[in-house]
Amino acid sequence: MAVTGAILIGLGFSPLAASGLALIANTAPVAYGALGTPIITLAKVTGLDEMELSAMVGRQLPFFSVIVPFWLIWAFAGWRKMLEIWPAILIAGVTFAVPQFVVSNYHGPMLVDVIAALISMACLTAFLKVWKPKTIHTSAALSGRVDNSKVDADPDEKPGGAAAFSGDGQRAVLRAWMPWIILTVFVFAWGTQGFKSMFDTRPALDPQTGVVLLDPTGKPKTEANPVFSPVLTFSTIHQKIEKVPPVVPQAKTEEALYKFNWFTATGSGILLAAIIGGLLMGYSPLTLAKHYVKTIWVVRYSLITIVAMLALGFLTRYSGLDATMGLAFAATGIFYPLFGTLLGWLGVALTGSDTASNVLFGGLQKVTAEQLGLSPVLMAAANSSGGVMGKMVDAQSIVVASTATRWYGHEGEILRYVFFHSIVLAVLVGLLVTLQAYVPPFTSMVVGGH
């Protein structure tokens, strides 16, 4: 979103337009962001199958991957201008939505956004080679409203982007694209299961003979690699907390294990990509280290907040708070699919993260769904799908948007602009989830049944 906002500013869009459009666009892909981290975390918190959750979200968000491009152009240029370019909008939306569904249902959550985005951009570019609108819309101003927003001057800004481009266009373009190409390669590699298995696991050996152990099917057993993926056991609560009916069908003890897969974590791949990209662009290791430390200092409070929110999520699970709230919310009855979806929206709006919202409310969604006879997979997925629409109104995203567009101190105006869009889209997600919960043939889309 920060990159998109800065690009729009460079193209001449006003700060309000650049911020608002970037925030609205940053919705449907959010659940699979950071190599599928929200879905992966949701699976860990709820104990539900990761692939089923990925597939279920992939049967909700593709509808909005088609809707959001139309919504985006309508919000920017108005209804008539949107209709003038509807073929291009449809190509952009459908070619994102179809790969989003296919990858999420048949591969997993890790590479959904990467593959869908690449295919969508390629298809739209190819389509515009053979199709042109009757009129070219050249205005970068928002339609139907007074927009006096201006970019705040930056005394430290150094000229160079346009100058460098005019001096040597091809080299400038290659230099601009190189970090993203490197990042894409690393993100793709880090998202594959084969890469994760290579470092996170190792063959399980018999402690006495040193022979590789086999499972009942004759395949080698594996265990966590203590170097790249050590497992931390919190012995004070491990298997000492028991959930009993009516929270769960049968009494079950809770495990308290933390798998610290530090090398195959998303951030490690991004860090390595940043280091290699920086070195290839001519930065010295010392300069990169200084920028890294400076960045850590800038986001220090955000990091503390993220850690605290994740801790709070696990606290709600082990203390039984999610179970207690789930039993209470079960009283909403038939309206819960809509209510539960909006709960996911609220979680992201408050925490700024679809992952954090899943940690906070994932267990609650599962418990409530089981009490109401709904699919736990459906409602856990609804938490993530509803949450993506809250991404455009959370404080973190709005601050990032105002900073990227250099419109400092105008966060309130950005919030007022996107709030309507966020609420309406969240309600639409809730209505889709309600249809999937009760109304055929939408009920056949639910993964795992009831």
Q: Given this model, what pLDDT does residue 164 score?
A: 42
Q: Given this model, what pLDDT does residue 10 score?
A: 78
d(CA 426, CA 250): 34
pLDDT greater than 70 at residue 169: no
Of 95, 97, 115, 92, residue with least CA distance to 36: 115
Q: What residues have CB less than 8 Å from 394, skipping those under 6 apart?
A: 348, 349, 350, 351, 352, 353
Q: Given this model, what pLDDT does residue 363 score?
A: 84
**DSSP symbol at 444:** G
What pTM does this model have? 0.73
* Digit-coded pLDDT (tens) for 6-24: 778 877 888 888 888 989 9
* Digit-coded pLDDT (tens) for 175-224: 777 887 888 788 778 877 788 889 998 888 888 888 888 888 888 888 88
Q: For CA atoms 435, 440, 442, 447, give the dihedral sign.
A: positive
Q: Given this model, what pLDDT does residue 168 score?
A: 57
Q: Given this model, what pLDDT does residue 148 score?
A: 65
Q: What is the mean pLDDT of the chain?
A: 84
Q: Which residue has the tokens 């986001």?
A: 299
Q: 3-state DSSP call for residue 233?
A: strand
Burial 373-390 (b: 16+ CB within 10 A, else e): ebbbbbbbbbbbbbbbbb
Better-predicted residue by pLDDT, 65 or 318: 65
Comparing 7-11, 184-188, 300-304, 444-448, the range with the smallest average pLDDT is 300-304
Q: Report in angstroms the alpha-carbon separations of 405 from 16, 22, 135, 152.
A: 8, 10, 28, 9
Q: What residues have CB less than 8 Å from 442, skipping those under 6 apart?
A: 432, 435, 436
Q: Given this model, what pLDDT does residue 361 score?
A: 84
